[in-house]
Chain A
């Protein structure tokens, strides 16, 4: 069972206490955006086989949204971090680089 540490309440939460909320760090587009931007924001997804960043919610715990960095090919968890950020913090990126030296994801690496 997938276990993620909630960065807000510190609990190691089982996946039954959590709810996956999809791809993280989407740049949101709305009125006045181009069709391409809006389409990509709504539908296009990275869907990588490997390093992935996701939003999760500690739904049966503190209720807070947070971020997780995982590997979709092995189910390894690299770490979790707070929701109030536009990109993964450097320490998470360093942890991933130590294990997957050539990783890239969207504009991050």
Chain B
């Protein structure tokens, strides 16, 4: 069907073969319940009324006394960090602590868009790494994350956007990120339901990334959790970190609602609550937390098989596999930790989208929700050492974190294991002091 299929099939079998050798070891560790998912397993279970499916991941209720590394936050980024610590660096004595439930923060609240069409080189590097890891994630994790590279269009609706996106397309060509500038007729061909004639903002073209798309957000968290658990890591839910213990400027452990735990290294990967956790460790972060909302319509028949982002009018939309139109908009203009946003932002977003897609005008909206996003001074993330030795922070993904999950985890794991990573060098939290911004928001006209 597509060029990746052959490679993925061979990867699947390669992964499968490796796994067979690992099975006795996992058995000794006490994680024998995890079975590989495959067409054969589905057939086998169909024959016995699906009585043989084990737990997808172990559910330890109490943490151990000490771990080599603790990751705070069992969302996509935290779990991916833990996964690559184990997979790439062999560090498996790891706990992932989650105050709520697995993937229940922004990982479960975003609009699942994956793209890497950024202007600045450090952004292109980490987001394209991430996008490419999504390509094989289902095979790597043996868990179907439903990655759907259906293509992403960012609409140009003003002259400055035309210039901006053409510039980005040229930058992407130099960075090795495959994107192209497309004319309005091609936009209409890709999205027949779009009204490209205005009235307020006619579509003047777009930046097209054919291998961008969507994935199943919960499955990304679940897949990583299952793989982490399989490596012997502890994913501990309902375990809130209440304090960070340091000694001589170095981290020694955390206090939690399930007791004190010691660790050599601590990774803070808590998105909107990064400032709150950093304060417990005695330092501050250059960021603010605001609410970002999304909503979905009632399910309808397939009508749009690409992701469309319209940054001037501030709305983006895709159709989920269930048929719901998934819609995202802008952030609130003030600090907020309540996971709900202001109604007028929904109104603004929907008004813009109804203008661009007249046929959705009579759709009913089913659900609306908010998440707390962490926005830095230059709208780019922070993956960094901190003033406390042994504490690393991964935050500031703001309104675009989902697409970055695997790349962020990959880079953060390298940073935690080796103390540096080429992907995180320019994302350190001290860049603001020197004015070395990674200025995506203004340069690329990205919606925020």
Residues on A lying within 8 angstroms of B by beta carbon are 1-2, 15-16, 19-20, 22-23, 35-36, 39-40, 42-49, 52, 54, 70, 72-75
Q: Kindly identify which residue among A15, A35, A47 contacts B288, using a CB–CB cutoff of 8 Å.
A: A47
Residues on B lying within 8 angstroms of A by beta carbon are 273, 275-276, 284-289, 332-338, 342-344, 377, 432-433
Complex contact A73–B338 (CB within 8 A): yes
Complex contact B433–A20 (CB within 8 A): no
How many Å lie between the Cα of A45 and that of B275 in the bound state? 9
Q: Kindly identify which residue among B284, B342, B344 contacts A44, using a CB–CB cutoff of 8 Å.
A: B284
On chain B, the residues within 8 Å of A35 by CB distance are 433
Contact A1-B342, Cβ < 8 Å, known A43-B432, A47-B275, A47-B288: yes
Interface of chain B, helix or strand or loop or mixed? mixed
Contact A47-B335, Cβ < 8 Å, known A15-B342, A42-B377: yes
Complex contact A75–B336 (CB within 8 A): yes
Smallest Cβ-Cβ distance to B335: which chain A residue: A72
On chain A, the residues within 8 Å of B273 by CB distance are 49
Complex contact B333–A44 (CB within 8 A): no
How many Å lie between the Cα of A1 and that of B340 in the bound state? 11
**Chain B's nearest CB lies how many Å from the CB of A7?**
17
A-B contact pairs, 17 of them (CB 8 A): A1-B343, A1-B344, A19-B333, A23-B288, A39-B433, A40-B284, A43-B377, A43-B432, A44-B285, A44-B286, A46-B284, A47-B275, A52-B335, A72-B289, A73-B337, A73-B338, A74-B338
How many Å lie between the Cα of A42 and that of B288 in the bound state? 13
**Chain B's nearest CB lies how many Å from the CB of A30?**
15
How many Å lie between the Cα of A51 and that of B332 in the bound state? 18
Complex contact A45–B286 (CB within 8 A): yes
**Chain B's nearest CB lies how many Å from the CB of A73?**
5
Complex contact B335–A54 (CB within 8 A): yes
On chain A, the residues within 8 Å of B333 by CB distance are 15, 19-20
How many Å lie between the Cα of A46 and that of B337 in the bound state? 13
How many Å lie between the Cα of A73 and that of B336 in the bound state? 7
Complex contact A16–B344 (CB within 8 A): yes
